């Protein structure tokens, strides 16, 4: 299989890094990236071919569009004349298959994917949506590619991809934000940087593993930690007073709204 990435930034790196550790490591991967330093780094780190120019992607089976949403229109218009039967995978937040297909001059073998950065350790999760022009074989190819770097969740309603963006696409940043806060608290309580890191990270890892292996919902697992009149109750009460849960819910809604807005704004052109 030959896979070309257009854009070799954070998310493309994460997927390539994950792929290199899987059965798909023998796939021929090339990356079109404007930035020479990033090209060199991708070549050194992952042994992939890189180029500055778009036409080199033409003979690929899969073309992954991994540029910013704002850069997608111009690239797609340029790409349109080179397409015959390649599968287009777009990971751009907000951009609908309809807008993309218009820029691609009606080409619609498009799978819209929302991955996340834990793909680099095969612990990602991706939402996928197939446009009408995608064959069963291409759907399987998309599934193979993304399931090599984590879990996959196919949706039938394209608007759900904006919702996936708000939960798992942006989600790693919410988790890192919480880890940052817990580490800072550990520093303030007298631990050094390394101790603060270990305490916070292992708490996250252990609690996530417990939640994923337990039949109990998160709320019940939380109740099991929370002794009446004890320490956790004080902490949770403080979080409730600061409306932390509501803030997290609102934040995810803000991300979904932004994905939708980006799509609306950029599809005007």
Ligand X SMILES: NC(=O)C1=CN([C@@H]2O[C@H](COP(=O)(O)OP(=O)(O)OC[C@H]3O[C@@H](n4cnc5c(N)ncnc54)[C@H](O)[C@@H]3O)[C@@H](O)[C@H]2O)C=CC1
Ligand Y SMILES: O=C(O)[C@@H]1CCC=N1
The residue ranges that bind ligand X (CB under 6 A) are 6-12, 32-35, 38, 66-69, 71, 75, 91-93, 114-117, 169
To ligand Y, the closest distance from the beta carbon of 95 in angstroms equals 11
Among 50, 86, 152, 170, binds ligand Y (CB under 6 A): 170
Among 17, 169, 200, 263, binds ligand Y (CB under 6 A): 169
Look at residue 9 and give the partner it binds from ligand Y, ligand X, none, a contact being a CB closer than 5 to 8 Å depending on partner kind: ligand X
* β-bridge partners, 2: 28
Q: Which helix (H) or strand (E) holds 46?
A: helix 36-46
Ramachandran angles phi, psi of 95, nearest 5° = -80, 120
| Contact status: 118 vs ligand Y (CB under 6 A) | no
Rounded Cα distance, 88 and 149, in Å = 18
| Contact status: 120 vs ligand Y (CB under 6 A) | no
11 in a known ligand binding site:
yes
* 92's tokens: 């751009």
6 in a known ligand binding site:
yes
Cβ nearer to ligand X, comparing 4 with 200: 4
Cβ nearer to ligand Y, comparing 138 with 171: 171
Among 15, 29, 89, 93, binds ligand Y (CB under 6 A): 93
Rounded Cα distance, 148 and 145, in Å = 5
18 in a known ligand binding site:
no
114 in a known ligand binding site:
no
CB-side neighbour CA atoms (13 Å) of 76: 32
Cβ nearer to ligand Y, comparing 29 with 161: 161
Q: Which residue, among 67, 58, 91, 97, has the nearest Cα to 6 in the 3D structure?
A: 67
Give the 3-state secondary structure percentages of the chain, helix then strand then coil, rounded to 5: 60, 15, 25
10 in a known ligand binding site:
yes
Query: Are the CB atoms for 27 and 44 separated by under 8 Å?
Result: no
Query: Are the CB atoms for 7 and 67 separated by under 8 Å?
Result: yes
Cβ nearer to ligand Y, comparing 95 with 142: 95
68 in a known ligand binding site:
yes
| Contact status: 263 vs ligand Y (CB under 6 A) | no
Cβ nearer to ligand X, comparing 30 with 141: 30
Ramachandran angles phi, psi of 50, nearest 5° = -130, 160
Annotated binding site: 6-11, 66-69
């Amino acid at each position: 299989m030959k896979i070309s990435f257009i854009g070799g930034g954070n998310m493309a790196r994460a997927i390539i890094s994950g792929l290199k550790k899987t059965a798909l490591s023998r796939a021929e991967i090339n990356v079109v990236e404007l930035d020479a330093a990033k090209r060199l780094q991708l070549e050194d780190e992952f042994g992939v071919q890189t180029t500055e120019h778009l036409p080199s992607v033409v003979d690929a089976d899969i073309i992954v569009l991994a540029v910013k949403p704002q850069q997608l229109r111009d690239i797609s218009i340029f790409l349109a004349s080179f397409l015959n039967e390649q599968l287009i995978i777009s990971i751009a937040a907000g951009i609908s298959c309809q807008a993309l297909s218009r820029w691609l001059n009606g080409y619609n073998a498009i799978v819209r994917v929302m991955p996340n950065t834990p793909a680099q350790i095969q612990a990602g999760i991706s939402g996928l949506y197939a446009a009408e022009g995608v064959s069963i074989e291409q759907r399987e190819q998309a599934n193979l590619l993304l399931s090599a770097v984590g879990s996959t969740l196919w949706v039938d309603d394209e608007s759900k991809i904006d919702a996936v963006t708000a939960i798992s696409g942006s989600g790693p940043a919410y988790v890192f934000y919480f880890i940052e806060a817990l580490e800072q608290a550990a520093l303030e309580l007298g631990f050094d940087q390394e101790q603060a890191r270990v305490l916070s990270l292992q708490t996250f890892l252990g609690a996530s593993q417990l939640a994923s292996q337990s039949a109990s919902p998160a709320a019940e697992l939380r109740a099991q930690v929370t002794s009446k009149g004890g320490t956790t109750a004080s902490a949770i009460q403080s979080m409730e007073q600061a409306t932390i849960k509501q803030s997290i819910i609102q934040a995810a809604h803000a991300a979904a709204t932004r994905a939708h807005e980006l799509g609306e704004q950029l599809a005007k052109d």
